[in-house]
Copies of this chain bind each other. A is one copy, B any other.
Amino acid sequence: MKQQSKARAHTNIALIKYWGKRDNKLFLPMNSSLSLTLDAFYSETSVELSDSFEADSFILNDQPQNSQETAKISHFLDLFRQTAGIKTAAKVVSQNFVPTAAGLASSASAFAALGAAMNHATGLNLDLAELSTYVRRGSGSATRSVYGGFVEWQMGTTSADSLAVEIDDASWDIGMITVAVNTNKKTLSSRDGMKLTVETSAFYPAWLESAAKDLVSIKEAIHKQDFQQLGEITESNGMKMHGTMLGATPPFSYWEALTVEVLTKIREIRRQGWQCYFTMDAGPNVKILCRYSDAEAIQKLLTTAFPDNPVIISKVGSGVKLI
Contacts and interface: CB of A to CB of B under 8 A. Distances in A.
A97 interface: no
Contacts of A261: 257
Contacts of A253: 239, 260, 263
Main secondary structure of the interface of A (DSSP, over half): helix
A239 B197 CA distance: 14
Nearest to A240: B247
Nearest to A241: B246
A247 B202 contact: no
A236 B253 CA distance: 12
Interface stretch (A61-69, A204-212, A313-321): A204-212
A255 B257 CA distance: 9
A239 B232 contact: no
Interface in A217-275: 232, 235-236, 239-240, 242-247, 249-251, 253, 255-261, 263
B246 A242 contact: yes
A255 B255 CA distance: 10
A309 B88 CA distance: 64
A203 B247 contact: yes
Contacts of A247: 203, 206, 210, 239-240, 243
Given A205-B206, A244-B243, A232 B257 contact: no
A120 to B, nearest CB: 43
A282 to B, nearest CB: 14
A205 B258 CA distance: 31
Contact of A203 (B243, B256, B257): B243
Contact of A258 (B207, B249, B257): B257
Contact of A257 (B236, B242, B246, B260): B260
A277 B251 CA distance: 12
A261 to B, nearest CB: 5
Contact of A251 (B205, B236, B251, B259): B236
A247 B263 CA distance: 16
Tell which of A206, A235, A249 has the most Cβ of chain B within 10 Å. Answer: A206
Contacts of A255: 255, 260
The 9 closest A-B CB pairs, nearest first, are: A243-B246, A239-B251, A257-B257, A202-B210, A243-B243, A239-B246, A203-B203, A243-B247, A257-B260
